[in-house]
C-alpha cells in the first residue's frame, strides 16, 4: 500500500520540516554523488521505516560545509545540489531536507546539534549512518556520541557497513573522496561504476573562441561551476539539452595546437545543430579516449577529431544498447 505523503518531498530549511515527519528513519550527510555507499544507507533506512510505516528522511547541506569553512578552495563537488536531491529520492528517500549551511550551524557542539536539529525537528525513531559519520563543531561528534544520546532521545542508531570494491587489485572503500580522486585523474569509467551512473558536469553553455566551428566540429562550451572537473583530455560521453540526448566528444584542456592559455570544457554534440548559448546542458562522461595533443597543422587535428567522434559514437551506442 502506498504511504501517504502529507509533506513536500524536498524541504528547504529546518523551520519548514512538518511534524508529520517525526518518528522517521533519519540519515544525515553531504551525500556528494549519492554513490553505492549512500544507497546502501538509504536502503537500510528504507527497510526500518517500512517496518514501522514511517518515512525515510535524508538531511543534506547547501552550500557544502567545506565551501563555507574554506571559501577560497578549488571546487570539489561531485554533483550539483539539485541532482543530489533527485538521486536521494530515486534511491528510496521519502523526503529530503536541505539545511542552509552557515557558521552558526557548523559551530554547534555535538550535543546542541542533537538537541536543536535531530530531536527538535525530526524526533526520529532511527538514525542510520556509516561508521565514519562526524558532526558538530570540529567534527567532534561521532557514532559513539549518537549511540550515547540515543536512549534519552528515543532513537536507535544503526551503523551500516561501507561498500567495498576491488580497485587496482586492492579492496577499497567507496567514498565521495575516492570518486573525486578518480575523476581528477580522468578515470571517469571507474567513477561512474561507483556512482552507479556516469559522472556528469551540469552548467550553462557559454561563448567560446568558435574554433570548433571553423574546424567543422562546433562545440558547446560549458561554464564551470562548483563541480570537480576531470583531468585534461578527450572523452567519449553524452550531452543532454532539454529532452534530447546526443553522443558527445568532450575536450577538456588548453588547446595545445593553438597555444591557448584558457582551460575550457567543450563538447561536440553529434547530430546536433543550432544555437545553444545560455541553455542548461548536462555532459556525461563514459570513457577517456586520449590525452590532449599538439598537432603541426589543423588538417591533422581535424582528422583526429573525426576519429574521436567515430570512437565516441561506438562507445555511446554500446552503452545504450544501440546496434
Q: Are 239 and 312 in contact (CB under 8 A)?
A: no
Q: In this structure, is residue 102 part of a structural domain?
A: yes
Number of domains, the chain = 2
- List pLDDT tens digits, range 3-22: 556 679 999 999 999 999 99
Q: How far apart are the first and last CA of the chain?
A: 40
Q: In this structure, is residue 139 part of a structural domain?
A: yes
- Is the domain of 254 the same as that of 152? no
Average pLDDT (191-216) is 85
Torsion of CA 300, 303, 309, 311, to 10 degrees: -100
User: DSSP state, 227?
Assistant: B
Note the pLDDT of residue 211.
63
Q: In this structure, is residue 258 part of a structural domain?
A: yes
Out of 114, 142, 164, pick the residue that ends a domain.
164
Show the cell assigned to 256. 595545445
- List pLDDT tens digits, range 136-188: 999 999 999 999 999 999 999 999 999 999 999 999 999 999 999 999 999 99
- List pLDDT tens digits, range 96-138: 999 999 999 999 999 999 999 999 999 999 999 999 999 999 9
- Is the domain of 267 the same as that of 154? no
| Structural domain harbouring 208 | 199-318
Q: How far apart are CA 87 and CA 100, in angstroms?
A: 19
Q: In this structure, is residue 181 part of a structural domain?
A: no
Note the pLDDT of residue 295.
86
Q: How far apart are CA 149 and CA 278, in angstroms?
A: 50
Residue ranges with strand state E in the chain: 10-12, 25-28, 56-62, 95-100, 126-129, 156-159, 164-167, 170-173, 199-206, 220-222, 233-241, 244-253, 264-269, 280-290
Amino acid at each position: 500500500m502506498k504511504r501517504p505523503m502529507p509533506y513536500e518531498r524536498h524541504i528547504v530549511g529546518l523551520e519548514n520540516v512538518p511534524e508529520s515527519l517525526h518518528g522517521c528513519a533519519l540519515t544525515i550527510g553531504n551525500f556528494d554523488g549519492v554513490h553505492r555507499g549512500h544507497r546502501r544507507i538509504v536502503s537500510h533506512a528504507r527497510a526500518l521505516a517500512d517496518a514501522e510505516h514511517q518515512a525515510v528522511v535524508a538531511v543534506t547541506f547547501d552550500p557544502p560545509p567545506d565551501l563555507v569553512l574554506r571559501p577560497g578552495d578549488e571546487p570539489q563537488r561531485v554533483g550539483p545540489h539539485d541532482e543530489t536531491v533527485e538521486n536521494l529520492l530515486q534511491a528510496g528517500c521519502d523526503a529530503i531536507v536541505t539545511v542552509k549551511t552557515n557558521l552558526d550551524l557548523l559551530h554547534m557542539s555535538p550535543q546542541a546539534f542533537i538537541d536543536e536539529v535531530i530531536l527538535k525537528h525530526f524526533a526520529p525513531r532511527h538514525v542510520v549512518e556509516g561508521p565514519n559519520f562526524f558532526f558538530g563543531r570540529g567534527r567532534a561528534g561521532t557514532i559513539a556520541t549518537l549511540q550515547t544520546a540515543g536512549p534519552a532521545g528515543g532513537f536507535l542508531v544503526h551503523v551500516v557497513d561501507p561498500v567495498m570494491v576491488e580497485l587496482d587489485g586492492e579492496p577499497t572503500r567507496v567514498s565521495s573522496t575516492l570518486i573525486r580522486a578518480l575523476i581528477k585523474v580522468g578515470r571517469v569509467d571507474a567513477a561512474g561504476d561507483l556512482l552507479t551512473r556516469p559522472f556528469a558536469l551540469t552548467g550553462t553553455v557559454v561563448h567560446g573562441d568558435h574554433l570548433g566551428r571553423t574546424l567543422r566540429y562546433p562545440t558547446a562550451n560549458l561554464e564551470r561551476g562548483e563541480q570537480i572537473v576531470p583531468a585534461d583530455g578527450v572523452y567519449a560521453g553524452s550531452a543532454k539539452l532539454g529532452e534530447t540526448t546526443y553522443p558527445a566528444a568532450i575536450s577538456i584542456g588548453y588547446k595545445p595546437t593553438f597555444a591557448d592559455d584558457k582551460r575550457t570544457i567543450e563538447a561536440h554534440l553529434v547530430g546536433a545543430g543550432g544555437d545553444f548559448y545560455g541553455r542548461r546542458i548536462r555532459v556525461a562522461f563514459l570513457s577517456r579516449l586520449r590525452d590532449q595533443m599538439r598537432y603541426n597543422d589543423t588538417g591533422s587535428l581535424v582528422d583526429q577529431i573525426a576519429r574521436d567522434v567515430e570512437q565516441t559514437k561506438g562507445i555511446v551506442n554500446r552503452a545504450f544498447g544501440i546496434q
